[in-house]
Amino acid sequence: MSKIVKADVLKKELDQIYETDKKKLRTNTVLYGHLGEGRWHTHIQPGLVLKAIVDYETKTKVHFPSVYKKFLRNCNGCYLFDILRVSGIGPETYRGLSYEEQVHQAFDLEVMQDLYRRKGTPENHFIFADSLVKNTYYVIDMLNENILEIEYRSKKILKSYKNLEIFFREVILEGKNNIANRIFYEFE
């Protein structure tokens, strides 16, 4: 069984990186690294109860890898350093949420799957994350729980990670380096 970076470990890393530059929303989403004009560098959503995960699997008829279910229990998606967007289960409604709370909800897994799944995508590839900066998406290989980085256009596997923990540690390291070198991305 592979290990994963639990949300509390991710939060501890992010708290250490951003120190006091954070904001907690009513939804318990935590925003990190204010970049001005309402933009934040990173955000992490609170985990889900198992019933919500199972209900979503049933509704979408998508079987989640066990490592992804564990991740959702700890963290319902996140957006890290402007370089990685990890999907979760989107809200049923936005009613009662402020604009800031709406834009920092989990990016819905079903939408993520629809964006990248194409004819010829192996059935054992569970698409769960993407990077707009790198023009890549990320899958969990359901046969061995390796994380694969795949180039969007060519569908070529660029990199393989042994498990989710190693994958997140690499992203955190890249994020720290970007912050140290003052590399921030603008999206329009």
Instruction: Please check whether residue 2 lies inside any domain of the structure.
Output: no
Instruction: Please check whether residue 23 lies inside any domain of the structure.
Output: yes
Instruction: Please check whether residue 1 lies inside any domain of the structure.
Output: no
Instruction: Please check whether residue 102 lies inside any domain of the structure.
Output: yes
pLDDT score for 11? 84
Tally of domains in the chain: 1
Domain range for 139 = 7-180
* Residue 176: closest CA among 37, 83, 75, 106: 83
pLDDT tens column, 134-181: 999 999 999 999 999 999 999 999 999 999 999 999 999 999 999 999
Instruction: Please check whether residue 187 lies inside any domain of the structure.
Output: no
Instruction: Please check whether residue 141 lies inside any domain of the structure.
Output: yes
pLDDT tens column, 65-108: 999 999 999 999 999 999 999 999 998 878 889 999 999 999 99
Instruction: Please check whether residue 167 lies inside any domain of the structure.
Output: yes
Instruction: Please check whether residue 68 lies inside any domain of the structure.
Output: yes
pLDDT score for 120? 82
Average pLDDT of span 112-126: 91
Q: What is the CATH number of the domain that holds 156?
A: 3.40.1580.10
Say what the pTM is.
0.91
